[in-house]
Chain A
Amino acid sequence: MNGFFTIILQDLKLAIRNGGSTITLLTFYISIGVIMPIAIGPDKQLLAALSPSIVWIAALLSTLLGLERLFVADHEDGTLLVFTHADISMPAIALAKLVAHWLITALPLILATPILAVMLFMDWPTFTAIILALLLGSPALIALGGVGAAIAVTLKRGGVIAPILIMPLAIPVLIFGISATNSIAGPGASNAALLFLSAFSLLTLAFAPFAIALALRTAAE
């Protein structure tokens, strides 16, 4: 259990000291919020109606973009090989990497969502609903993304392939996420979609570490 938190802490330290990548990701996230109104037009009502969808698309694309580096550095400097001989099991290491990655990429995105909310004229109930839905749905995005990153880790041309593979699998997150946001904020509130979203997150978190461990072990061979 000690190693589990060590890996999380180490990844957090690396992210803080290297800085860069989280800022880049946030800039990308907010840029989508900037180009969407330019593409759609500055119509307040239209933007407000589309805002949950825009935020979810921005979150999905940013998460996929952030995937690339998840395991590549560990593969290049041989850390993966060390991991295969570690005291704690490979799935536990994979879970630790996922937790760290969520803290480095997904959490800052969720914290930056108020900026998007202002730009898209989101009303207060929608805003609280989308924060809740993002909190519950982002673990699934990170977990599925981790599988994609682990599969693409040895590939020289792996940069584009992981998002292509993960996009179809992430469709349930998108559907339940947007549906949850609309159903909480809208009239006749029901939390069925939110429950499905949580269930999907829990399910992916349960099997993703094992899939990642299998892929990483093959990569380290």
Chain B
Amino acid sequence: MTQTQTTPTKQPSWFSRLAHPGVYLSWSAHLVVPLIVLTIVTFGIGLWYAFFNSPPDYQMGETVRIMYIHVPNAWLSQMVYAIMAVSAVGSLVWRHPLADVSMKAAAPLGAAFTAVALFTGALWGRPTWGTFWEWDGRMTSTLILFLMYIGLVALWSTFNDQSKGARTIAVFTLVGAINIPIIKFSVDWWNTLHQPSIISTEGLSMPASIATPLLVMMLAFTLLFFTLHMVAMRSEILRRRANNLERRHIAQQMEAKQ
């Protein structure tokens, strides 16, 4: 291999310096513990508000407290997909390894948050609407979103070469991102066609006593996501390094045998 001449490269921007996987590992290491503490404190405040410092709803009674878990998870189910779509753009346009890692780490988290949203929705629906499940537009599109997350997680597990898989998965993530609004619209259309809307989740006039715990809980769950996402990204980077080391080790052993 001939010595390639060193071209005067321009200084990388602050963003690409921070996004280098190795540099990311070092600066995120300082953030993990503060994030965990912040998440726990916010959850503490939020749960205290939700359970002890907010009134029961005049119609739903105590079951209104399910909302403080349900709504944040429903919100995250969509935010996580948006983060995956942004990472997919980063992965396709700049071929950035950190974007791949972010995309991969977000998929199971999104699936989990969506599952919790669906589950708590069913628990909430039983006492208030009298049924665990209804083919309501919003529930149906959340269920479809859940299926898409599961498909993505399954797709990641089928690729042996994760960096090659990332570009392919990014394509699918973006196709899904274009389709999600269309699916949502079509499901709403289908729902109004099949059944007159008997259930209205609208019109929850929200006094401050309910809005405060809800907003704190949403913040807490969002922090929880960012904490888990960061930890998952760190372990994914380390896992890839460990795999590379293992491969190199095996190669060296093979060489020694010959």
* Distance, CA A218 to CA B154, complexed state (A): 19
Partner of B190, one of A179, A207, A214: A179
Let me know if A37 is at the binding interface, CB within 8 A.
no
Q: How large is the interface on B (under 10, 10 to 19, 20 to 34, 35 or more residues)?
A: 20 to 34
Let me know if B83 is at the binding interface, CB within 8 A.
no
On whether A172 and B178 interact (CB within 8 A), knowing A158-B158, A161-B154, A161-B155, the answer reads no
B151 touching A164, Cβ below 8 Å: yes
Chain B contacts for A144, CB-based, 8 A? 175
Let me know if B171 is at the binding interface, CB within 8 A.
yes
* Distance, CA A208 to CA B154, complexed state (A): 22
On whether A167 and B147 interact (CB within 8 A), knowing A175-B186, A179-B190, the answer reads yes
- Chain A: residues with Cβ within 8 Å of the partner, total of 31
Let me know if B92 is at the binding interface, CB within 8 A.
yes
* Distance, CA A29 to CA B150, complexed state (A): 28
Chain A contacts for B171, CB-based, 8 A? 147, 150-151, 211, 214-215, 218
B183 touching A169, Cβ below 8 Å: yes
What 4 pairs between A and B have smallest CB-CB spacing?
A172-B186, A175-B190, A175-B186, A218-B167
Apart from A155-B158, A218-B167, 19 more pairs, CB < 8 Å: A147-B172, A151-B168, A151-B171, A151-B172, A155-B159, A158-B158, A164-B147, A164-B150, A164-B154, A165-B151, A168-B151, A169-B175, A171-B144, A176-B186, A179-B190, A179-B193, A207-B175, A207-B178, A208-B175
State the A residues within 8 Å of B (CB): 144, 147, 150-151, 154-155, 157-158, 161, 164-165, 167-169, 171-172, 175-176, 179, 193, 196, 200, 203, 207-208, 211, 214-215, 218-219, 221
